[in-house]
């Protein structure tokens, strides 16, 4: 099916979901695979993965907007950020979301990872415009660029971002939004990195530094509850790893260590790399991969797998912090948990 047809189908199905969101119960999908008794304290035996909406092209980057009680998420190929509420279902929130140029750019031109910073702004990773942006959620101003280059060389396609309470941001920059991936002549950086944007001063965006440069496909990114550890998930199927880096006082990172990798995946017959992730208040990691969400302890023990059954991109805590919203391929899903996000 051609992309234009897929996009049209996505809008039609999303519209149907919106129309029936309040008149029919949400369908369920997948299963919960329990590998460690500790999972029973995080996900109840009755928990199900609910499909809130479907028909999208590729969903990504969910984020819960606490003060307004709604979810935002990206459809990267549609270059659109969508909004979801229990009452209204899905509605378009921002289009274009990641590429404002003329003509085609790539099959994934839109926004990817999203977060809300301490100022309450929407922070977005934009594939097509190859930048990190900030946009007030109260309508007090327009979108502004926080960073679009490192040492004068444009980023490839910023993928996921996390905001630190200090006012700094950490984000990953793999090649997935480039028109021809790493072969694209527009590529300017030598490799794929994890970057830090220093806190703003007097309204001026902070300087950009590279904090990790030896990963082949850095993707998902998250902070520990005490903000002393930076987690990075790698999507390279040849070397799928979840890395932990100690954060230094100056915002740089120390030597990383692998807390989970290919061997742990193979034991459960899972394949592929990791994508997005979130951390709960107890320090457990909820990492997308293996067609679902892996639940890992802070030490890297594999506790269980929310097996959605399709390629799963990212997740985010919402509602009172115990609902995990999940973006999986064409679906927007959720599961009620006994954990609490932060």
The Cα–Cα gap between 108 and 112 comes to 9
The pLDDT tens digits for 36-77 are 999 999 999 999 999 999 999 999 999 999 999 999 999 999
Say if residue 308's pLDDT is above 90: yes
Q: What per-residue confidence (pLDDT) applies to 102?
A: 86
Average pLDDT rounded to a whole number, residues 163-168: 97
Bridge partners, residue 163, by sequence: 169
Tokens 């009452």, residue? 87
Mean confidence (pLDDT) of the chain: 92
Average pLDDT rounded to a whole number, residues 139-166: 94
The pLDDT tens digits for 74-99 are 999 999 999 999 999 999 999 999 99
Say if residue 20's pLDDT is above 90: no
Average pLDDT rounded to a whole number, residues 95-120: 95
Under the banding of pLDDT at 50, 70 and 90, the label for residue 33 is: very high
Give the range among 1-10, 215-224, 238-247, 278-287 with minimum mean pLDDT.
Answer: 1-10
**This model's pTM is above 0.75:** yes
Under the banding of pLDDT at 50, 70 and 90, the label for residue 139 is: confident
Whether 252 contacts 234, CB under 8 Å: no
pLDDT, greater one: 36 or 183: 36
Say if residue 6's pLDDT is above 50: no
Peptide bond into 96 cis (omega under 30): yes
Q: What per-residue confidence (pLDDT) applies to 180?
A: 77
Q: What per-residue confidence (pLDDT) applies to 22?
A: 44
Whether 72 contacts 81, CB under 8 Å: yes
pLDDT, greater one: 7 or 132: 132
Under the banding of pLDDT at 50, 70 and 90, the label for residue 181 is: low
Average pLDDT rounded to a whole number, residues 322-330: 98
The pLDDT tens digits for 260-269 are 999 999 999 9
Provide the residue count of the chain: 342
Average pLDDT rounded to a whole number, residues 219-233: 98
Domain 3-336: homologous superfamily in CATH: TolB, C-terminal domain (2.120.10.30)
Under the banding of pLDDT at 50, 70 and 90, the label for residue 287 is: very high
Average pLDDT rounded to a whole number, residues 219-237: 97
Average pLDDT rounded to a whole number, residues 13-42: 76
3-state secondary structure the chain: CCHHHHHHHHHHHHHHHHHHCCCCCCCEECEEEECCHHHHHCCCCCCCEEEEECCCCCEEEEEEECCCCEEEEEECCCCEEEEEECCCEEEEEECCCCCCCCCCCCCCCCEEEEEECCCCEEEEEECCCCEEEEEECCCCCCCEEEECEECCEECCCCCCEEECCCCCEEEEECCCCCEEEECCCCCCCCCCEEEEECCCECCECCCEEEEECCCCCEEEEEECCCCCEEEEEECCCCCCCEEEEEECCCCCECCCEEEECHHHHHHCCCCCCEEEEEEECCCCEEEEECCEEEEECCCCCEEEEEECCCCEEEEEEECCCCEEEEEECCEEEEEECCCCEC
Say if residue 13's pLDDT is above 70: no
Lateral strand order in the sheet of 292-296: 31-34, 302-307, 292-296, 285-289, 274-279
Tokens 């899905």, residue? 90
Say if residue 145's pLDDT is above 60: yes
Torsion of Cα atoms, 243 then 307 then 20 then 56, to 10°: 50
Q: What per-residue confidence (pLDDT) applies to 7?
A: 41
Domain ranges of the chain: 3-336
How much of the chain, in percent, has pLDDT values that exceed 90? 86
The pLDDT tens digits for 189-199 are 988 999 999 99
Q: What per-residue confidence (pLDDT) applies to 200?
A: 93
Average pLDDT rounded to a whole number, residues 105-109: 94
Q: What per-residue confidence (pLDDT) applies to 19?
A: 40
- The phi-psi region of residue 260 (left if phi > 0; otherwise alpha if psi is between -120 and 50; otherwise beta) is beta
Say if residue 2's pLDDT is above 80: no
Torsion of Cα atoms, 278 then 165 then 319 then 157, to 10°: -50
């Amino acid at each position: 099916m051609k992309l234009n047809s897929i996009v049209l189908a996505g809008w039609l199905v999303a519209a149907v979901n919106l129309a029936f969101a309040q008149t029919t119960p949400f369908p369920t999908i997948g299963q919960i695979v329990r590998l460690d008794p500790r999972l029973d304290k995080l996900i109840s035996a009755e928990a199900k993965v609910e499909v809130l909406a479907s028909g999208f092209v590729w969903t990504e980057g969910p984020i819960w907007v606490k003060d307004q009680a709604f979810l935002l998420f990206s459809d990267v190929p549609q270059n659109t950020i969508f909004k979801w509420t229990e009452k209204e279902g899905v509605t378009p929130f921002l289009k274009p979301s990641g590429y404002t140029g003329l003509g085609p750019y790539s099959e994934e031109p839109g926004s990817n990872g999203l977060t809300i910073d301490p100022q309450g702004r929407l922070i977005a990773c934009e594939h097509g415009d190859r930048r990190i942006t900030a946009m007030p959620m109260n309508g007090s101003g327009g979108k502004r660029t926080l960073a679009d280059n490192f040492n004068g060389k444009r980023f490839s396609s910023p993928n996921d971002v996390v905001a630190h309470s200090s006012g700094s941001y950490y984000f990953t920059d793999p090649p997935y939004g480039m028109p021809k991936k790493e072969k694209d002549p527009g590529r300017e950086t030598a490799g794929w990195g994890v970057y830090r944007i220093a806190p703003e001063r007097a309204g001026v965006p902070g300087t950009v530094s590279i904090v990790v440069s030896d990963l082949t496909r850095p993707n998902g990114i998250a902070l520990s509850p005490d903000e002393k550890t930076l987690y990075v998930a790698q999507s390279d199927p040849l070397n799928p790893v979840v890395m932990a880096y100690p954060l230094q006082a100056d915002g740089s990172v120390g030597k990383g260590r692998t807390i989970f990798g290919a061997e742990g995946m193979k034991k459960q017959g899972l394949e592929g790399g990791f994508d997005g992730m979130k951390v709960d208040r107890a320090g457990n990691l909820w990492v997308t991969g293996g067609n679902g969400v892996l639940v890992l302890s802070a030490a890297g023990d594999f506790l269980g797998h929310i097996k959605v059954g399709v390629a799963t991109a990212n997740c985010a805590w919402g509602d009172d912090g115990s609902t995990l919203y999940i973006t999986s391929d064409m679906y927007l899903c959720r599961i009620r948990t006994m954990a609490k996000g932060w």
